[in-house]
Amino acid sequence: MIRQTSGNDLRRRRASRLAGTLGLLLALALIGGGILPAYVSAQGIPPMPMGLAGTVSTITPPALVPQGTLVQAFVDGVKQVDTTVNAEGKYFFLVPGPGTTVTFKVAGVTAQQSTTWESGELNYNFNLTILALPTVAYNLTVAWSPAGTGNATDMTNTSPYAAGVQVSIKAVPAAGYRFGNWTAPAGLLANASAATTTFTMPAQAVTVTANFELGAEYTLNMMASPIMGGTAYDVTGTSPYMQGEVVSIQAVAASGYQFVGWTAPPGSLANALAAATTFTMPAQNVVVTATFQVASSPGGGVCFIATAAYGSPTAEQLDVLREFRDGVLLESAVGSQFVDLYYRLSPPIADFISGNSFLRTVVRELLVDPVVWVVRATGDMWRN
């Protein structure tokens, strides 16, 4: 029994060796005859993925990116795989193919490296770099309320913005409305009551709203006193105005006159003594008056009434009156008091006369001309 078993084992071992030898000969025949390579090509056996690993860093600042940063691999522009950076700033992935060029993105930013895809290749030192990690930015929307009452503008105009960025904003009311204030659910307004101000972005998207309200408008009238002394101008030239609006005004003296100052019952003058200044509108209609006086000369001022009658401070008749005043009236105490009283009382009378051509003619022919004739006729007497 034992010999029979031993003989059977020997026969089995010989048969195995023979089968192995025949298999090897068959394989060599298939390869040598091109049968196996042709079969592999026909079946399209998939290529091996490409293995890549390394560190991920930024140039500005020069440092490894933080743990959890997303890294993506693209083959010929199509994303194939992604992973995240570990605590050591490293990534690893197997990039399937086939393809030509492998590119990468780190946190959405295109990496500076690329490579050629090769089946089965392993590269554990393929380090990736980007210029800088992106800054998170948030949208700023500028709105106004109620609709149709005005508009608001992001003057910086580069939204989205990173948190902490200061943005210039401006509100412009429509006709009949005035700016009220700015409101925002988050962020910081430098001055919520100023139509033009700055807004500091929060770490979220935000809408900043300009609020408008009805605003009454008031008329600004400009006057000169005396009328022949010059002209008062509303330089801004857009009356009526709302309360608080700042208006540019200017006074221009006529020949022979000089500007004295501005007066206005309500409202505020930036500089009442400056010919060119600004006026802040009150909550009512207002008249702003520019006051003029005859320009200084060696002999002092001239007659307001006579100037109004002749329509010019340089009329030759005024030279006669000026000479009589300086040579006769101002030489006595009584005459000096008369001149002083006259200069205090005559401006409003002159204003009244200068605004009416008929009155100017009557005063000139029935009053001033006779006085000038008498002064001239008696010149030899009072000059000596």
pLDDT of residue 26: 52
Closest CA to 286 of 317, 249, 313, 255: 249
Instruction: Tell me the C-alpha distance between 72 and 107, whole Å.
Output: 8
Q: CA Rg, the chain, in Å?
A: 50
Residues near 219 by beta carbon (within 8 Å), at least 6 away in sequence: 239, 240, 285, 286
Structure tokens at 53: 């690993």
Instruction: Tell me the C-alpha distance between 300 and 346, whole Å.
Output: 16
> What's the pLDDT tens digit per position in 22-44?
555 554 544 455 544 554 455 55
Instruction: Tell me the C-alpha distance between 222 and 200, whole Å.
Output: 43
Backbone angles phi, psi at 156, to 5 degrees: -70, -45
Tell me which H or E stretch contains 313: none
- Do residues 288 and 279 touch, judged by C-beta distance below 8 A? yes
Taken in order 162, 163, 166, 170, the sign of the CA dihedral is positive
pLDDT of residue 211: 95
pLDDT of residue 100: 95
- Do residues 225 and 192 touch, judged by C-beta distance below 8 A? no
- For the chain, list residues with pLDDT below 50: 1-5, 15-16, 19, 27, 29-31, 35-36, 39-40, 297-299
The two counts, helices (H) then strands (E), for the chain are 8, 27
Per-residue DSSP letters for 93-161? EEE----SEEEEEETTEEEEEEEE--TT-EETT--EEES-PPPPEE-EEEEEESTTSEEEEESS---SE
CATH architecture type of domain 50-130: Sandwich (2.60)
> What's the pLDDT tens digit per position in 167-207?
999 999 887 788 889 999 999 999 999 999 999 888 899 99
Structure tokens at 282: 């009150």
pLDDT of residue 107: 82
Omega prior to 226 cis, within 30 of 0: yes
pLDDT of residue 297: 47
pLDDT of residue 172: 92
Backbone angles phi, psi at 32, to 5 degrees: -65, -35
Label residues 29-62 b or e (16+ Cβ within 10 Å = b).
eeeeeeeeeeeeeeeeeeeebbebbbbbbbeeee
Instruction: Tell me the C-alpha distance between 135 and 60, whole Å.
Output: 12
> What's the pLDDT tens digit per position in 121-164?
999 999 999 998 877 889 999 999 999 999 999 999 888 887 77
